[in-house]
Copies of this chain bind each other. A is one copy, B any other.
Amino acid sequence: MLFARPLAELIAELERLPGLGPKSAQRLAYHLLRVPEAEADRLAEAIQTAKRKLRFCDVCQNISEAASCEVCLDARRDPTTICVVSEPRDVIALERLNEYHGLYHVLHGLLSPMDGIGPEQLKVHELVVRLSDNVKEVILATNPTLEGDATALYLNKLIGPSGVKVTRLAHGMPIGGELDYADSATLLSALEYRREM
């Protein structure tokens, strides 16, 4: 056995994380063995606390500490506009702009028939339910990728007939890029020139 067992187990768990190969996992494991025990404990506890304390907002499905998230509870937000995104990190990207004052809806994924991901695997039903609540506009802010565009087309077909205005983020972003990595200026112009579908 090359590694002592607790070390081998730590490396194996770290290797399961996305973007970490065997070498990076080993380096991180040795790093954790070197740091003070209190620091390693803080990481371990942060993982467990985050898992136990966080849930999805009942309304918008974003990550939340309570049954409803801070955005949904904020009376200053405009409840007539819902911005639909794929991931919680996309909400962060849009909130950083300080320009959007409506509500959100997080799908937790994009349509991908090849991977067996249909509307039932996404928070689509939870979005449809919200449309009766005096909603005037739904902004489709999925990534400008194959899956993001397919998801936007699907949602437009689904929501369009209800009479709600459906818009899509302008293609100011580089095609094939990811919302999460766009710079604020690009993202802002994409938001500003959103077009009706």
Contact = CB atoms under 8 A, between A and B. Distances in A.
Interface of A: 1-7, 9-10, 12-14, 16-19, 23-24, 26-33, 37, 39-54, 63-65, 69-70, 87-89, 92, 95-96, 180-181
A70 B86 CA distance: 50
Contacts of A88: 30
A64 B45 CA distance: 24
The secondary-structure label for the interface of chain A is helix
A119 to B, nearest CB: 19
B17 A63 contact: no
Nearest to A64: B4
Given A17-B28, A18-B28, A51 B43 contact: no
A53 B6 contact: yes
Contacts of A54: 4, 6-7, 33
Contact of A87 (B14, B30, B95): B30
Contacts of A13: 42-43, 46
Contact of A9 (B14, B28, B39, B49): B49
A6 B50 CA distance: 5
Contact of A10 (B26, B32, B46, B96): B46
Contacts of A65: 4-6
A180 B30 CA distance: 13
Contacts of A70: 1, 4
Contacts of A49: 6, 9-10
